[in-house]
Structure 1
Amino acid sequence: MSQAKESFNDIIKGDKPVLVDFYADWCGPCKQQAPILKQLTDRSGDKVRVIKINVDQAQAAANQYQIRSIPTMIMFKDGKIVWRQSGVQSLHTLEGLVKQFGS
């Protein structure tokens, strides 16, 4: 298997839903969201790909997607934004999205 680094655009263009969590290390609600995302990946297996993007380290991406508050999560499918929400999201909400947009 190739170890070539995938670009963000390559990742979000796949037919598998990609949940992107825009966060910062200093953000309290972001810290609350982290274990929920871990549960989601544990329970959803390969049905969804979860990516965390630190807005302090990836300011260009934060600007591109107009991230104004954190945490903000964006679900991509086939390179398109299919869902976007700011604030802490429940496991129930996120699992519903995986079911809705999963193949």
Structure 2
Amino acid sequence: MSKFGELIDVEIPVLLAFYTQTDNDKNITQHQNLNDVAATMGNKVKVIKIDINKNKDLVEALRVKTLPTLIIYKQGEMKWRQSGEQQTSAIISKIEEYI
């Protein structure tokens, strides 16, 4: 978990997106939304996709129960958390609150 602490303890917002490897339409849409957020925001945000099957300890520690779950951290502190698919514009608006 110390590596996780280093990952989120930065000046810019860090958007964590928890997902699972499935090819359903909802998952594909959310991945595209996250790619659009990263492209639009550039170096103003760090977008990190986290596969729940490869990061079970982190999923348990953060009590992620619903997918997708998005969490924004800034300077090591959780600022926002939302479960369910989010539109690109909504994600960007939320990130901008923490820039």
**In structure 2, the residue corresponding to 1:93 is in which secondary structure?**
helix
Alignment match of 1:48 (pick from 25, 45, 57): 45
C-alpha distance in 1, partners of 2:13/2:44? Answer: 7
Aligned partners of 1:37 and 1:27: how far apart in 2? 16
Give the distance between the partners of 1:83 and 1:42, measured in 2 at CA: 21
Let me know the Cα RMSD of the aligned residues. 1.4
* Aligned counterpart in structure 2 of residue 10 of structure 1, from 1, 6, 13: 6
Give per-residue Cα distances to partners, 1:20-53, cap 9 Å, x unaligned.
0000002633322000011111110100000011
Question: How far apart are the structure 1 equivalents of 2:39 and 2:32?
Answer: 10
Find the counterpart in structure 2 of residue 98 from structure 1. 95
Helix, strand or coil at the partner of 1:95: helix
- One-letter identity of the residue aligned with 2:15: L
Q: Distance in 2 between matches of 1:16 and 1:56?
A: 27
Q: Distance in 2 between matches of 1:84 and 1:30?
A: 18
Runs of 4+ in 1 over 6 A off after TM superposition: none
- Give, in whole Å, the separation in 1 of the partners of 2:66 and 2:28: 14
Unaligned runs of 5+ in 1: 1-5
Q: TM-score, normalised by structure 1?
A: 0.88
Question: How many Å separate the matches in 1 of 2:23 and 2:60?
Answer: 18
TM-score when normalising by structure 2: 0.91
Opposite residue 25 of structure 1, the aligned amino acid is Q
Question: For the residues of structure 2 that align with 1:8 and 1:31, how far apart are their CA atoms?
Answer: 26
Does structure 1 retain, via aligned residues, the 8 Å contact 2:73–2:79?
yes
The 1-side partners of 2:23 and 2:84 are apart by 11
